[in-house]
Amino acid sequence: MEHFNVKTGHLPSNLGQESLYQVLPEVKKAKEHLLKGDAAGNDFLGWVNLPEDYDHEEFCRLKADAQRLSAKSKLFVVIGIGGSYLGARMVIEALQSEFASMVRGEKPYIVYAGHTLGEDYYSQLLTLLDREDYSVAVISKSGTTTEPAVAFRIVKAHLEKKYGKEEARQRIVAITDARKGALHTIAVQEGYPMYVIPDNVGGRFSVLTPVGLLPIAMAGYDVDQLMQGARDMRKVCIEKETLEENPAMMYAAARNVLYRSGVKVEMLVSALPNLRYLAEWWKQLYGESEGKEHKGLLPHSLSITTDLHSMGQYVQDGERLMMETMLHVKQPATHVPVPTDEKNLDGINYLVGKSLTEINDCAMQGTIEAHVSGGVPVLELEVERIDEYVLGQLIYFFEFACGLSGYTLGVNPFDQPGVEAYKKNMFRLLGKPGF
């Protein structure tokens, strides 16, 4: 497996190796629960074996559908919310140019819907869809979630008006439950190509199913490499038994030790702006898995150096309630040197010859030193680079560690009873029959 390391050298001395080893038996027990399926939530463990145990015929069909739709689409509308869109968005935004919406290549550009009810968002989207050829993936495990259902109704009506009912049918793919839900019924009646979200994989663990893979393939990225990275990480997470060899066990142990010491907030910190959706996906994964029974670290994120100029003061000097997990990517995909300037009026000639990555790395190391001295425990997560393979590693690592961490915390990491509360109120306020 490629270099992938969780470093604990910046934890306070009273929470070092000894504390990590004290929690190790609980993490091992949690691992047993994940592998034997003998604890709460055991009907949602399908993701554990996904990188090895997936439908190869469906995987090939998915790549063929992605190619077929790419050939006739400039835009691809991905409709979904929460676990039904964040995984795909994380991978796509990590890999595409930050300016992809303005500098379009051969592959379709992905736009999102169903994750918001903002009215202006939809009128702006429809204006865009008037101009561009597009196709649609509508994704909902339950098939009954209001936001994507409303978005799909709006986009489907536009698509049918633009292309006619028959061609619209050729431009829609539905990803949903195998048997039930309104989306399943629509897809069967309209004859849309359909992909199934396995019963035993919850939304936030579903990026390595068609939920994530179809949009990622449509955007032109290598889903084989993504699965390979996940497969290699799975082997390490499952086979290695020590904290030093198993990064997921180390991460789960460290965050539980810190939580028990009084830390309330974990901030995932990255120095690369294209990883902001990795943080959004991670927030859902950990927040929805652990935030139960009035327990759990609150997941938050920072992008440095950007947020050091807004949140830096609080982290350095505000209430002591947080830890940081610094995601350090060692190699950039490209290099931009600082050019020389004879006059040196800006006074930065001392940086000439250094790459931006060297400067960014110094900013990260400087931040770590400052925050540690300000009383913030810091974990470092070090990866070689960002590509499909490493993103596959990261996905599986964070998922497996989340299962370990949730069981160690003493909650069922695989349900989300709290998500229902707002829906009941919304339905009552909207006058939905039965509410």
Q: Would you state the structure tokens that stand for residue 189, as one six-digit string?
A: 């009646």
Nearer to ligand PA5, 4 or 396 (CB): 396
Q: Which member of 8, 84, 209, 412 binds ligand PA5 (CB under 6 A)? A: 84
- In the block, tokens 């893979």 appear at 213
Q: At closest approach, how far in Å is the CB of 386 from ligand PA5?
A: 24
Q: Would you state the structure tokens that stand for residue 400, as one six-digit string?
A: 């497996």
Q: At closest approach, how far in Å is the CB of 403 from ligand PA5?
A: 14
Q: Tell me whether residue 98 is one of the annotated catalytic residues.
A: no
CB atoms inside a 10 Å sphere around CB 341: 12
Q: Considering the rule CB under 6 A, would residue 220 count as an interface residue with ligand PA5?
A: no
- Sorted by sequence, the CB contacts under 8 Å of residue 334 that are 6+ apart come out as none
Peptide bond just before 145 cis, omega within 30 deg: no
DSSP 8-state secondary structure symbol assigned to residue 355? B
Q: Considering the rule CB under 6 A, would residue 87 count as an interface residue with ligand PA5?
A: no
Nearer to ligand PA5, 141 or 171 (CB): 141
Q: Considering the rule CB under 6 A, would residue 83 count as an interface residue with ligand PA5?
A: yes
CB atoms inside a 10 Å sphere around CB 262: 8
Given 288, 290, 324, 399, the catalytic residue: 288
DSSP string computed for 113-124: ESS---HHHHHH
Q: Considering the rule CB under 6 A, would residue 81 count as an interface residue with ligand PA5?
A: yes
Q: At closest approach, how far in Å is the CB of 101 from ligand PA5?
A: 25
Q: Considering the rule CB under 6 A, would residue 82 count as an interface residue with ligand PA5?
A: yes
Q: Considering the rule CB under 6 A, would residue 229 count as an interface residue with ligand PA5?
A: no
Mask 282-301, x = binds ligand PA5 (CB under 6 A)?
Answer: ------x-------------
Q: Which member of 89, 184, 204, 255 binds ligand PA5 (CB under 6 A)? A: 204
Partner residues linked to 329 by β-bridges? 383
* Torsion, CA 68, CA 74, CA 79, CA 82, rounded to 10: 100
Q: At closest approach, how far in Å is the CB of 198 from ligand PA5?
A: 13
Q: Would you state the structure tokens that stand for residue 240, as one six-digit string?
A: 């290695």
Given 10, 28, 235, 423, the catalytic residue: 423
Q: Tell me whether residue 423 is one of the annotated catalytic residues.
A: yes
| First-to-last C-alpha distance (Å) of the chain | 52
Pairing relationship of beta strands 298-303 and 134-140 according to DSSP bridges: unpaired
Q: Tell me whether residue 288 is one of the annotated catalytic residues.
A: yes
Nearer to ligand PA5, 79 or 125 (CB): 79
Q: By rule CB under 6 A, what count of residues binds ligand PA5?
A: 14
Nearer to ligand PA5, 44 or 407 (CB): 44
Q: Which member of 202, 212, 229, 247 binds ligand PA5 (CB under 6 A)? A: 202
Kindly give the interhelix angle for 210-218 and 56-71, rounded to the nearest 10 degrees.
40
HSE at residue 400, side-chain half, CA atoms within 13 A, is: 32
Given 166, 239, 294, 309, the catalytic residue: 309
- Which residue from 210, 220, 225 is spatially nearest to 174, judged by alpha carbons? 210
Could you say which residues in the range 119-178 bind ligand PA5, by CB under 6 A?
A: 140-142, 145, 148
Q: Would you state the structure tokens that stand for residue 255, as one six-digit string?
A: 């965050």
Active site residues: 288, 309, 423
Residues that bind ligand PA5 (CB under 6 A): 81-84, 140-142, 145, 148, 202-204, 288, 416
